[in-house]
Amino acid sequence: MGIFSVISLLGGLSIFLYGMDIMGDGLKSSSSKALKSMLEKVTHSAVLGMLTGTLVTSVIQSSTATIVLTVGLLSAGILNLRQSISIVMGANIGTTVTAQIIRLMDINSSGAAFIEIFKPSTLAPLAVLCGIILLKFVKSQKTKGIGMMLMGFGILFTGLMGMTEAVSPLSESQAFTDVLQKFSDVPILGILTGLITTFIVQSSSAVIGMVQALSSTGAFTFQTVYPLIIGINLGTCITTAIVCSIGTDKDAKRTGIAHILFNCIGTVLFMAAIPLLHHAGALNFIWGKPMNSGGIANFTTIFNLVTAVALLPFTNQLVKLTTLIVKDSPDDTEDFYPEMRTLDEKLFISPALALHQVNIAEASMGRLARKNFNRSIDQLVSYDPERSAKISSVEDRLDGFTDAAENYLIKLSNHIDSTEDNNELNLLLQAVTDFERIGDYATNIDDLSARLVADGHAFSETAKRELEILSSALTEIIDLTVEAFANGDEAMARRIEPLEEVIDEMVATLKDRHIERLKNGSCTIGAGLVFIEVLTHMGRAADQCSSIAVFLLGRHNEEILSNHHAYLHELHKGNDAYYASEFEARRREFLDPIETL
């Protein structure tokens, strides 16, 4: 095998890897929501977890990527260790799908005419052509994902055919045959070769593909190839172990250990069983026979499937074993707030899933901001220094999360290529800012309450009653906003703007009424200045709620998204029947009682 054949082999491998990446990206793009749904619905059933791992890995074409996603959900508290281990078992099975696809290389020209279309030499250019057409002439993001998948499929087989052609001279090489014979005589050499090659290439599917290409030489028999395949499967867990060891989450490290144990136990089982079966004569029908790409694919699947089925009943024991290996420290403490657990960059592999986790975290943040705002309103009625300290503590927590979420979303934006996901990201960036500002207004109101007490001032009974009515409207609009955001409820979001407009009227009315009280001397100037500032902060808090609602409605409405101000202007003109009806109902509920005071 000359230098040019080696160059052709490496070039074919590069094209193969590129095609596999494109195919995986296309599958993820066209089914990201389904991936998110599958991973989130894993229950305490180990069987369901294994099936989920198999399906997800079949889609994204990488067991390492599935395990990284699983570790991200584990760190976020969405999955527990038992669930993650069952998903890892399934991921090993799912990664064999690529090998089963590559077995199409075994189709020969002697078949029926309709079989010819499935030959890689026919299928590859056809898949690339269909993929290009979908990418260039169809606007749907999901369809573009299918086009990318088809193009990747075609490129993958083009690279595979290049590798097959490059290694064809090896069929006449005695040295190559001698090396393979060493694998048969000393199986550990085959295992080490597969392990090291997989660690270098960083893809077990790609290395299996190389072996399938080499099988075209006719030099592989079962006795020479099985140690190599076992080594390849063992090698894939090294990368996973490295990825899972990054960070401080102990369950993530335990998941990496579980993957190593899974493959090591499988290796021991098969390396013990195969010689015994051979000596018993059970493998005589394949032992010295040439192995084609289909046979290699089948053994790869059998290895992972049998290991998974054998170990599945012992999932709880694996959990205990990994917990013994990676022990909990009695003085372990978290150095971040609970909301930040979901902001794991490992989830960038699936942007839709990462966005969903940010949504969950921001909804939690919104509820914190709501509680803090309610505390600040209570301060106006009865000032409590301990409550003030709590407000300050929660505000620090909100500020810290806001910085973390904004940085996370900015990094995530580099991984987003769909309009729908981009709109979701914009909503999340806007919402985290708005929730943080609501928290700021709560702190400002708390400070004003402290100033009121320190200066010995007090609101008049009428002012207290006015603030009580306004506060009830504020509480309702913040409640609506948080729940509409958390659930993506657009019907609930439509109720926010009419209430916000009523609150604006209430603030204006209360300022006018307050000026009258100052004129007739029923309110002091010191208390009056605080009252005006409180009204201002309450009005601005309602504005932030309106902002979130508009972005929420604009996610699936390009007209609203492109011009928020025009949308709001049309609403305020009274041209929308629902808005007009809701506005009048809210006006009667909150503004009319003020006017009767």
Q: What is the 8-class DSSP label of residue 327?
A: P
Task: Evaluate whether residue 366 is within a structural domain.
Answer: yes
Please work out, in degrees rounded to the nearest 5, the angle formed at the alpha carbon of residue 323 by the alpha carbons of 232 and 233: 5
Say whether both 92 and 234 belong to one domain.
yes
- Single residue among 325, 353, 376 that ends a domain in this structure: 325
User: Which residues touch 563 (CB under 8 Å, ≥6 apart)?
Assistant: none
Domain total of the chain = 2
Q: What is the pLDDT of residue 334?
A: 43
Question: What does the alpha-carbon distance between residue 328 and residue 306 come to, in Å, rounded to a whole number?
Answer: 32
How would DSSP label each residue in 525-578?
A: HHHHHHHHHHHHHHHHHHHHHHHHHHHHHHTT-HHHHH-HHHHHHHHHTT--HH
Say whether both 308 and 393 belong to one domain.
no
Q: What is the pLDDT of residue 495?
A: 94
Say whether both 301 and 346 belong to one domain.
no
Residue 497: CATH number of its domain:
1.20.58.220
Task: Evaluate whether residue 335 is within a structural domain.
Answer: no
Q: What is the 8-class DSSP label of residue 597?
A: -
> Strand runs (DSSP E) across 74-141, as ranges?
none
Q: What is the dihedral of CA 106, 111, 117, 119, to 10 degrees?
A: 20
Say whether both 303 and 353 belong to one domain.
no
Q: What is the pLDDT of residue 331?
A: 47
Mean pLDDT score across all residues of the chain = 82
Q: What is the pLDDT of residue 535?
A: 95
Q: What is the mean pLDDT of residues 413-429?
A: 88
Task: Evaluate whether residue 417 is within a structural domain.
Answer: yes
The pLDDT tens digits for 431-465 are 999 999 999 999 999 999 999 998 888 888 888 89
Task: Evaluate whether residue 330 is within a structural domain.
Answer: no
Q: How confident is the model at residue 581 (pLDDT cuts 50, 70, 90)?
A: very high
Amino acid at 47: V
Q: What is the mean pLDDT of residues 472-496?
A: 94
Three-state DSSP class for 324? Answer: helix
Length of the chain in terms of residues written:
597
| 197 pLDDT more than 70 | yes
Say whether both 432 and 464 belong to one domain.
yes
Percent of the chain surpassing pLDDT 70: 84
Q: What is the mean pLDDT of residues 311-322?
A: 89
Q: What is the pLDDT of residue 42?
A: 58
**pLDDT: which is higher, 132 or 162:** 132
- Single residue among 299, 325, 351 that ends a domain in this structure: 325
Question: What does the alpha-carbon distance between residue 22 and residue 316 come to, in Å, rounded to a whole number?
Answer: 37
Say whether both 455 and 552 belong to one domain.
yes
Q: What is the pLDDT of residue 370?
A: 93
Query: CA of 242: how far to CAs of 81, 236, 257, 496, in Å?
Result: 18, 11, 10, 48
Q: What is the mean pLDDT of residues 135-147?
A: 77
**pLDDT: which is higher, 200 or 317:** 317
| 173 pLDDT more than 70 | no
- The maximal CA–CA distance of the chain, rounded, in angstroms, is 110
Phi-psi region of 326 (alpha: psi -120 to 50; beta: other; left: phi over 0): beta
Q: What is the pLDDT of residue 29?
A: 62
Q: How confident is the model at residue 332 (pLDDT cuts 50, 70, 90)?
A: very low
Q: What is the mean pLDDT of residues 38-48?
A: 67
Q: What is the pLDDT of residue 277?
A: 92
Say whether both 505 and 372 belong to one domain.
yes
Phi-psi region of 344 (alpha: psi -120 to 50; beta: other; left: phi over 0): beta
Q: Cβ(150)–Cβ(130) under 8 Å?
A: yes
Say whether both 121 and 243 belong to one domain.
yes
Q: How confident is the model at residue 31 (pLDDT cuts 50, 70, 90)?
A: low
The pLDDT tens digits for 522-546 are 778 888 889 999 999 999 999 999 9
Question: What does the alpha-carbon distance between residue 511 and residue 519 come to, in Å, rounded to a whole number?
Answer: 12
Question: What does the alpha-carbon distance between residue 140 and residue 126 come to, in Å, rounded to a whole number?
Answer: 21
Task: Evaluate whether residue 280 is within a structural domain.
Answer: yes
**pLDDT: which is higher, 553 or 335:** 553
Say whether both 37 and 151 belong to one domain.
yes
Q: What is the 8-class DSSP label of residue 589?
A: I
Q: How confident is the model at residue 257 (pLDDT cuts 50, 70, 90)?
A: confident
Phi, psi of 221 (to 5 degrees): -120, 170
Say whether both 170 and 296 belong to one domain.
yes
Say whether both 245 and 379 belong to one domain.
no
| 52 pLDDT more than 90 | no
Task: Evaluate whether residue 333 is within a structural domain.
Answer: no
Q: What is the pLDDT of residue 455?
A: 86
Task: Evaluate whether residue 85 is within a structural domain.
Answer: yes
Say whether both 302 and 417 belong to one domain.
no
User: In which domain, by residue range, is 482 found?
Assistant: 342-595
Task: Evaluate whether residue 50 is within a structural domain.
Answer: yes
